[in-house]
Structures are given as C-alpha cells and as structure tokens.
Amino acid sequence: MARRKRVQSVFLNIPYDAQFEELHLAYIVGLTQLGLKINATLALPNQDRLKRIVGLIEKSDVSIHDLSRIESPSGVPRFNMPLELGLALFRSHITRGRHRVFVFEKKAYRVQRSTSDVNGIDPQIHKGRPKGVMAGLRNIFYQSDGTTVPEMLSSYRAVRRKLPELRRNAGSRSLFEAAVFKELTVAALVERERILKQR
C-alpha cells in the first residue's frame, strides 16, 4: 500500500472578522508549527477573486474549512466559506482524493444540520478555543516532527504578545490584511524554530 506524501501546503478557509481573531491566530501558529505553508485569500485582489481562489485550492495538498461562523449578526448568512468548501470538494473529486478536505466547527453535529451534503466528513470540533483548533490540527496533520499541542500553545502565546507591535507596523487594527498575515506567519516561523531548538 502506497504511503500518502507528506502534506506541505494548506488552503485555509476561515471567516475574517474581529470575533474570530483568536482562532485565526491559532490556525496560523498551529499550521506553521506543523511545518505547513498556508495559502489564504487575504492577499487576493477582488478582481478575478474566484479564479484566484480556485488557483490557491489547486496548489494546496489539503484544505481546511472552518464553518463555525457562517451565521451573521445582520441576519444575512455568509456563503463564502461553504462556497469555497464546495470548490475544494470538487477538487478532491477530480483528483480522486489527492486533495483532502477537512472541516472545523465550534459545535458538534451542527455541520450535519447546516451542510448535510458533507455528512461523510467528520468535522474537528474546536469549541471556539485556540487549544481546540490546535488539537484538531494535530489530529489530522501528524507530521514526522511530532509537534505537540503544548508546543503550539507556547508559540501561540508568544506570537499573541507581539500583536500590538505587528498592528502598529502594519498601520492597521485588523489582523485580516495581507501585510499583517505575512508578519504573523514570520513570527510563527520564528517561534517554530525556537521550539525545535529547545528539543
């Protein structure tokens, strides 16, 4: 039986809003700690955006879709996350499963009610907590370096302490901008190296 190749890149499909900042940071730090390259839509211009999203999915080994905030306070549901999940599922279909798809949710069984067509995918339930995100990532991406959830959390806390400086440097309060995303990724990489040296 052929072994699966090591996962190198991940398409990350998450909501971009202030209430999701902690989990956004947890995904960036957790995936970076696992040695994965993150492909996200943050840096994409609005023109030809859908085509570029398809391109990001195509160049990623796997995709993660967080469906925990598809509802909206305004009463209008957010369809971007389910739409991108659909694109990734099609990619998985045409590549005969070489592109793997993972779903994260805050509450157990909610995905089965809201998006019943994905009943074959068991979602990772993070309960709205960074530790839950990291446990889910560790569960699906057990890479050979054996990164642990406590190591991820240590890196998470270190990067979180740098947020005021990163916001100042980018001239923005939002973490959901291309410049901040790049700075967060670099900070997470520095923490990964620190953890590896401590072993």
User: What are the distances in angstroms from CA 81 to CA 69, 89, 104?
Assistant: 9, 12, 11
- By CB atoms closer than 10 A (0-12, 13-18, 19+), residue 58 is middle
3 state SS of 2 = coil
Q: Torsion-angle region of residue 117: left (phi > 0), alpha (psi -120 to 50) or beta?
A: alpha
More confident residue, 66 or 108: 66
Domains along the chain with CATH numbers: 9-198 (3.40.50.10140)
Amino acid 77: pLDDT: 63
Which amino acid, residue 199?
Answer: R
- How high is the pLDDT of residue 1? 39
The pTM of the full predicted model, rounded to 2 decimals, is: 0.89
**In the sheet where 100-105 sits, what is the strand order?**
37-39, 9-13, 62-66, 100-105, 124-125
Mean pLDDT of 30-56: 87
Can you give the pLDDT at residue 142?
75
Predicted pLDDT of residue 114: 57
> What mean pLDDT is predicted for residues 22-30?
97
Read off the pLDDT of residues 67-106 as tens digits, 9 standing for 90 and up. Answer: 988 766 666 666 788 889 999 999 999 999 999 999 999 9
Which one has a higher pLDDT value, 1 or 128?
Answer: 128
